[in-house]
Amino acid sequence: MIGGMSERRELIHKGRKYDFERVSSVTPGGREVCLEIVRHPGAVCVVAVAGAGVCPEGMEGGEHGGVVMITNYRVAVQRELWEVPAGTKEAGEEAVVCAGRELEEETGFSAGSIEPIASFYTTPGMTDELMHAFFARDLTYVGQRLEADEEICVSVKRADEVLGMIESGGIVDGKTITALLLAQRRGLLEA
């Protein structure tokens, strides 16, 4: 029962990370609906700011410090996207722990401080994925630890450049746009 309404769930497929269910329910308005839903364990994204001089030699933009960004090829949309580091929570993992782990694995940076920005549903029309956005600072470079299926390049960009990429359409990833704009609104990014 959700909100006093009856609900019936049928597992369509048990995936490696996500499950797929067919859910039959009655809306608060009394209408019967049947939808396919992706059940998700939750995820994190991290707006990380590197100070000048903490980036390894040769990292694009690393000489001036700024926002740590990645490019990541996304099979679903068949293109490379500019994103903030992000990832899926493991079973029982706290969001802040996941944020530190994903930041380190994807970018090679360990954070001295990680603070929450906000939590939001990514696509509530098709999944229950709850995204937790964080802000990380006091970074130390320790080296990337990519998973076998990841091809991620790391760059460090000035905050004004990253925010301009949102305006120009260079950044089209929803979690990245949301997290960056929330960080800016809270005064965490110097533009």
User: What is the set of active-site residues?
Assistant: 150
E strand or H helix that includes residue 154: strand 152-157
* Backbone dihedral region for residue 150 (phi beyond 0: left; psi -120 to 50: alpha; all else: beta): beta
* 159-168 and 174-185 helices, crossing angle to 10°: 130
Tokens 């740590």 correspond to 68
Pure H helices in the chain: 95-107, 159-168, 174-185
Contact 9, 23 (CB under 8 A): yes
Question: Which tokens sit at 42?
Answer: 């939750």
